[in-house]
Chain A
Amino acid sequence: QKEVEQNSGPLSVPEGAIASLNCTYSDRGSQSFFWYRQYSGKSPELIMFIYSNGDKEDGRFTAQLNKASQYVSLLIRDSQPSDSATYLCAVTPGGYNKLIFGAGTRLAVHP
Chain B
Amino acid sequence: EAGVVQSPRYKIIEKKQPVAFWCNPISGHNTLYWYLQNLGQGPELLIRYENEEAVDDSQLPKDRFSAERLKGVDSTLKIQPAELGDSAVYLCASSPRDSPNTGELFFGEGSRLTVL
A45 to B, closest residue via Cβ: B107
Summarize B's interface: helix, strand, loop or mixed. Answer: loop
B42 to A, closest residue via Cβ: A101
Residues on B with beta carbons closer than 8 Å to the beta carbon of A63 = none
Interface residues on A, range: 20 to 34
Number of A-B contacts (CB under 8 A): 50
Residue-wise, chain B 97-115 has the 8 Å CB interface mask toward A (1 for contact) of 0001111110111100000
CA distance A47 to B45 in the complex (A): 20
Q: For the complex formed, measure the closest distance between the CB of B105 and the CB atoms of chain A, giving whole angstroms.
A: 7
Are B104 and A43 in touch, CB under 8 angstroms? Answer: no
Residues on A with beta carbons closer than 8 Å to the beta carbon of B42 = 4, 88, 90, 101-104
CA distance A48 to B102 in the complex (A): 10
**At the interface, yes or no: A92 with Cβ under 8 Å from chain B?**
yes
Residues on A with beta carbons closer than 8 Å to the beta carbon of B56 = 98
CA distance A42 to B110 in the complex (A): 8
Residues on A with beta carbons closer than 8 Å to the beta carbon of B44 = 101
CA distance A59 to B109 in the complex (A): 26
Residue-wise, chain A 82-111 has the 8 Å CB interface mask toward B (1 for contact) of 000000101010000111111110000000
Interface residues of B in 77-116 (CB under 8 A from A): 91, 100-105, 107-110
Interfacial residues, chain A to chain B (CB-CB below 8 A): 4, 8, 31-32, 34, 42-46, 49, 88, 90, 92, 97-104
